[in-house]
Structures are given as C-alpha cells and as structure tokens.
A and B are shown apart, each in its own frame.
Chain A
Amino acid sequence: MNIKNSSILKSVEKPGRYSAGEFGQTIKDKKDIKVRWAFCFPDTYEIGMSNLGVRILYGALNQEGDVWCERAYAPWTDMQKKMRQHNIPLCAHESGDPLKEFDIVGITLQYEMCYTTTLKMLELAGIPLFARDRGDDFPIVIGGGPCAYNAEPVADFFDCFSIGEGEENLVEFTRLYIEMKENGTYTKRDFLHRAAAEIGGIYVPSLYDVTYNDDGTIKAYTPVYDDVPKRVLKRIMTDMDKAYFPDKVVMPYIETVHDRIMLEVYRGCIRGCRFCQAGMVYRPVREKTPGVLNEQAKCLFEATGYDEISLSSLSISDYSRLSELTDNLLEWTDENMISLSLPSLRVDSFTKELMDKISTVRTGSLTFAPEAGSQRLRDVINKNVCESDLLRAVNVGFDAGKTSCKLYFMMGLPTETYEDLDGIAELAKAVIEAYYENPNRQKGRAPSVTVSVSCFIPKPFTPFQWEAQDSMETFVEKQKYLESKITDRKIRYVHHDARVSHVEAILARGDRRLAPALALACERGFCFDAWDEFFHYDEWIKVFEDCGIDYNFYSNRVWGEDEVLPWDVIDCGVTKEFLKRERKNAYSEKTTPSCREKCSGCGVNKLGGERTWCPKKEN
C-alpha cells in the first residue's frame, strides 16, 4: 500500500507501513514491462516483510526483465476505514497503482486464519471475490504457500494455485501469460487450461468437478479436460546450492517481526513427527553446502547491515554440517559484531559446544518443544526425544547461568489420556528440580519454567490427517485439569485459545463447501483473525450456522481412511500408504527412525533432490 496523501498518512497509526520508499525495493520503467505482478501478504507490513518466501519470489520474478513484481500488505483497520471513507482502492507498495490494474495478483497463504484478511484485501482492491465473477479484464489471482496444500476452502476465490516451491513455476506461469498475450490467444479460460496442462505444480480448481456422497463425504474430483492432471504434483527445487538466492534485500525502515538475516540452510526435515505438516510437505531434505551458505551469509550482511544471522530451517540441529557452517561463520561474524541464532533446536542436540557459538542463548531464555508430557505419547507422535534428553539440555543452559526455560506442548493429541497431561506437569517439575540439583547454577536465583500448551489440529498430509480434534468442552476440561496439576509458583502455565484452534481445524481440512461461509465472513467485516483482538468465535460459529454448515463434520470427526480427501487432488510426494502406515505405528506406539538412519518409504524420493539424506538415493 503506497499512499501519497499525507493528510491520511498523518492520521493513521504507524504510517511507515504505507509510505514505502525502502532501500532495495524494485522500481522498473513501466514501458519495459509486459507483466505486472502484485505479491500480496494477507497480514500487516511488519509481518509480511519478515517472510523469507516472499523475499525469494519477489527477487525471482524481478529477475525477469519484462516482469515487475511489487508487494502489497493488508492495511490495518484504521487505514481500511480511511480507504473506504475516501474511496481509495488497495494499491501496490512500490508504484502506488491500484491492484485491480495488475496482470497477476499473487497471494501467499501462510496460515488458515489469514483467509478472511485475504478476502478483505481483494474487496479493498475492488476485485470480485469469486473467481467465476472475474472476467478477462481482472487480474489472474494465484495463491501459494503452505495452505495451498489444501486450499479447497478458498478455492472458489482463486483462479489457480502454485503447489510447492514457486521459484520456477511462477516464472513459467508468467512467461506463458506473456506468450498468450503477445500472440493474441489469451483468454483467461484458455490460459488457465494451458497452465494446468503444461506447467508442473499449477492447480486450477475450476478445472475439476467435485461430487459428494449422501453422507457429505466427497465422491470424486474429476478433471474437466483430459490433459489436466488428475493429481497436481508439487514442485521442488532439486539443488538448493543452485536455487535462486535473493542477494538484494528490501530494507524496511520500520521495525518488523524478524529484523535479522534469515539464512535458509536447508529445506525439508529428516524427522517425521506425526502431527507436523511442514515435516511432510517440505520433503525431501535438500541441504545447501557450508561454502555456499557462508558466501550467501556474507552477501546478505553486506546488503543489509543486520547484526544477527538466524540459521533458518525446520530443525537446524539436524543439518549434517552444522559445526562446519558455524565455524565458517564465526570466522567473520564476531569481528563484525554479528551474532548467530538458531531458532529451532531439538533437545537431543543441544550441546555446550553449540551453545557457546550462539549468542541469543546468552541473552534469551532456553526454549524446547517436547510436545507431549509422557514418553508413551512422545512415541505416539514420533517426537523421538526422551526426558533425559530434555534434562541434559536444560542442564547445559543452567551450567551457563540460565535460570529460565520455556517448554512447548500440545494438547489433544491422538490417544492422549489424563496421565499424559500429568506428564506435562511432572516434566516441568523435573526441570525445576534439575535446576536445584545443578551445582553450577546461578546461586541465589530461583528458576522459572513456562509451560505453553497449544491445541492439536489435525492437518492435511500428516499421519494424523484422519484424526478428530478434541471437542471444545474436552479442551477446556483438559486445560483446567492441567492448571490444577501445576501448583509450583515457579512454573507459569499458558495455553492457546481452543476456540481459535477449533476454527483453524475446520478450515485446515475444509472443502469447497466452506466458500460461502468465508464470503459471508468477509461481508460481515471479518479481518485479521490471526490477531486475538479481532477473532470472535461466536461470530464464526454464527457464520457457519447461517450457511447451514455442519462445521464439526470437518473438525471433530474421525475421517475414514478410504474417504476421498479434499486434498487428494494434490500430490505432495509423500504417499497416502506411508501416512496410513505411520498412523498405525502411532497407535502401536512405535517410533520411526529419521531419514538419515533408515528409509521409511515415504515415497518422496521420486522427486529427486541433491543432498537429501535419503538412504534410497545416492548422495
């Protein structure tokens, strides 16, 4: 959003969100441009600017000389009000031109709760919400990001989705658009048809007919043309060393959520936590080599001047050459006053050697995610860590003078009993005891442990995708129970709002029949549902009810393994057989070794990939 009217900017909160003009933004001459892209992040500027994926795709598209990709963010509610008041449409950040005039509007879907903000952005832009209402004169609206793996609830609002990693297919998509515009064959319908048929990883919802059974489950997804794939296979970058890397960075002038260098170390995850969608859909693991990473880090430092490098990945301690990488980095980071941070540490890999290298640990508190309270339940979810790992890890921290520790858990996991909840309280107590037994602890200071408990949400493409979410009553009961078990005042207990998790679960496994509800939510002014202050559970329920939707059908039902799933139209590489096998293992409390130890046959190696750690592939 780029607003030139200074009176309006002077009347809103944080006008720096809208004023643009950042160093490093891409400005192009419109006369050289054949396609104008608006890359939208359906949340505030501060959050959107912190997203690494947007940064990569912004750079990748702008590498094309005849393509100009700009950014757009959701204006905060005070600005939305002014825009409505003065008939100002949503505009792109760089040029200030209305989104409606663009060729392609891309929207990244990072979390389900951004769906209402997504629709609000389209509404503010003056773009009809439903794809079927948009003629050839409107921009093509394409979605992507993690939620695109089951984008069925918002499928009616999008012309198409990019499935998987978009560095290549968004460029191919854009080139096809240019080709058809230039040779005069462009119609929206023909373009989408060709894109679906010719470009890997492009899913066009309108090219599939969906039929339903009498019990409300899905009967079939049928492509309307023979040359449209029955299932859309996701795209990946096979060699991360050679993948496009953005060496020029847009530098925000106002503070954003992640004001630091994010160095993407590898994609995928060797673990197979059974609740985790990212761990499945981002497979296979593809590592970058330390030499390449070191050069990229230097390049990012010179381009940004940031004083912190965060090594980013799903589980950084699983990077096979972490020690070599950190050593390489420390050779030049220290003298340049740059600190390293590792945001995703597993307890089984947290060592003193590692801790000495990373400075955020020096200042911040320790954070670990055992996810479940008992060993039994940790085996069910395949977390593959045990209590002794956790105690060893916290002791490393206590040795170094740490006094506080944050533990993340999940509630409502399949097979969970009240004994498992007791385990959460006991684990927290064990950490407190470990502190007092540690001879090297900071004398004279009391420890503090924060226990943060979220609610389990069954997600597509996980072994738990068929599971029911606990009912609201059960969640509340369990939360109260756990609260009563935590009596030590050194332990702070916080839990997520089960009501948000409930709506998230409905949307996560939703199908196309939810579209009217989302459109109604938008009409009723829903926006920023990821923000507590704007989330209203009762109104959500009312929206579902007013649309005649049995919402618990999506969230609180055990789905049949032979059911057609809304996301069966997408192929994320991991097979359904593997997910079923993993679900069975969960119920028999059997763990599955990591990819590096043994291949569990998830099927993703058909996609290839360099440095994947897949034993079935030559590395």
Chain B
Amino acid sequence: MLEVPKFIRFKFRKVGNLQFISHLDLQKAMAKVLVRAKAPLWYSKGFNPHAKLIFALPLSVGAQSECEYLDVRVERAIPPLELMEHINAELTEELRFLDAYYPETALEDIYWAEYDFSIKTMGADEKLAREVEKLLTAEQVIILKKAKDKYKKIFFKEIDIAPYIRDVSVDFEDGAIKINAKLSASINQTHPHINPENIVTMLKDKLGILSGDVTQEQYDIMRTRIYFEDGVTDFR
C-alpha cells in the first residue's frame, strides 16, 4: 500500500493590503480558508483537535511577498493543484496560492531570501544610490537587532550582517532607490534570519532618509524568491 504523503506544500503571495496582516492573524485566517476549501486536513487527536499548518518564514507587518511557503498536513492524498484551485476560490488577489506539490525537501533547507526594496525619499538620486550600495557592500554591515534579555526586556544589539547579505545591487529608478539583495533566512536558528526591515532602519539611521513628510516618502519591501544554501538554486 502506498503511504499517504503527510504534507502538501503551497507557495503563495501576500501583497497589497495583506501586508498589514500580522503573521498570527494570517495563521488563523488561513486555517479558516483551508476549511472553506474543504481541504482534507489532518487534526491532532486530543481534547482540542487542531490542524497542522507550518509557515516557512513569517513576514513582518509591512512587508510583501511573492513567495511564501506553507506546509499543510493532510489526512489523505489529494491532487495538490486541484486543492489549490479550491483554496484560490476562497481568496482575494492579494492573497493567492501560486503552486502546490508534495514536498521533497524540508523547510529547514531554506537558506536565502531575495528582496526588492523601493525607497521613495526626498533628494533621492544616483549619488544616494551609490551611498546605499557602499553601506550594504561594506566589509562590515552593522545593524541593530531587537532582542530580549532573560527578563524578556527588549534591547537592541549590534550585529554585523555582512556575511548574511549577498548579491546586492542598487539603482536609482523612477525617483526611487531600488535595492535588490539576498538576505540570510532561516526557519529555525541554525543560521541567522535577517529581517529586511532592519536594512531599512539601518539606512534611515545612517543616511537620515525617510524622515520627511509621510505623504511624500515611503518604502516598500517585496520578498521575491527563496533559495537553498548555495544562494542560487530556487527552493522548492
């Protein structure tokens, strides 16, 4: 007898308005979406049965993505693409499933995530673009990372992320600074996970950008691709 594959892996998009939905809220909403789509969910046995959903890399509020990964445990085999169609019927364009398959890799194999940053700020020009590039490709790239001490008090610690940032390119285009870079990404703590928001914060601190009128200035972050350890092969 064939063994029933335990998980179906989905790739989905979370853009536009949906960037403002927190990870916790997304998890809850997604569970309801799967029920509406009549997914054959596996439920834990016990007093309070619950489905098993594993999200690969939680996005912070205010970041968008074209490549979110979600593993869903199912109790019986079902053609993944067919299920995906049912799921998409329960979603809007801003949250849409793009691919579905039985996974042959572990989410732990994720190593790099690629991001597009678009920064509209006063006085953006080619010169500023070069300054940004210089900062991001320096021998040391120091960012402030939020951490908690043993009393759960939040403090900021300086870390050098130079080893965890690669393939940086910076352009000045349509009046905005466009950055494309790969940042170390991890679903567990085997290697560092760099929040793209930290990069923007670092640039704000070092260059004083994005400090003017919020109706004029803004930035967008879009996660575009996920890679294995070599930083070249697409994760699947």
Contact = CB atoms under 8 A, between A and B. Distances in A.
Interface of A: 5-11, 15-16, 18-23, 82, 86, 251, 253-255, 259, 302-307, 336-337, 363
A253 B29 contact: yes
Contacts of A304: 32, 36
Interface residues of B, number: 32
Contacts of B218: 5-7
A305 B35 contact: yes
Given A9-B62, A337-B49, A255 B28 contact: yes
B21 interface: yes
A5 B218 CA distance: 8
Contacts of B214: 5, 7-8, 11, 82, 86
B225 to A, nearest CB: 22
B75 interface: no
B215 A86 contact: yes
Given A302-B36, A303-B36, A16 B25 contact: yes
Contacts of A302: 36
A337 B32 contact: no
Contacts of A7: 214-215, 217-219
B233 interface: no
Contacts, number: 78
A306 B215 contact: no
A253 B33 contact: no
Contacts of A15: 20, 61-62
Given A10-B62, A86-B215, A255-B25, A16 B20 contact: yes
B17 interface: yes
**Central interface residue in B16, B21, B219, by most chain A CB within 10 Å:** B21
Given A5-B218, A6-B62, A7-B218, A305 B22 contact: no
B220 to A, nearest CB: 7
Q: Which 3 A-B pairs have the closest CB atoms?
A: A21-B17, A305-B32, A305-B35
Contacts of A16: 20-22, 25, 61
Nearest to A253: B21
Contacts of A303: 36
Nearest to B50: A337
Contacts of B36: 302-305
A19 B18 CA distance: 7
Interface stretch (B88-96, B128-136, B162-170, B176-184): B88-96
Contacts of A306: 32
Contacts of B20: 9, 15-16, 18-19
Interface in B82-133: 90-92, 94
B92 A23 contact: yes
Interface string B13-49: 0001111111001101101111110000001000011
B62 A251 contact: no
A76 to B, nearest CB: 14
Nearest to A303: B36
B62 A19 contact: no
20 contacts: A7-B215, A9-B62, A15-B62, A16-B21, A19-B20, A21-B17, A21-B94, A22-B92, A23-B91, A82-B214, A302-B36, A305-B33, A305-B35, A305-B36, A305-B90, A306-B32, A307-B35, A336-B35, A337-B49, A363-B48
Contacts of A253: 18, 21, 25-26, 29
Given A9-B20, A305-B33, A337 B43 contact: yes
A19 B32 contact: no
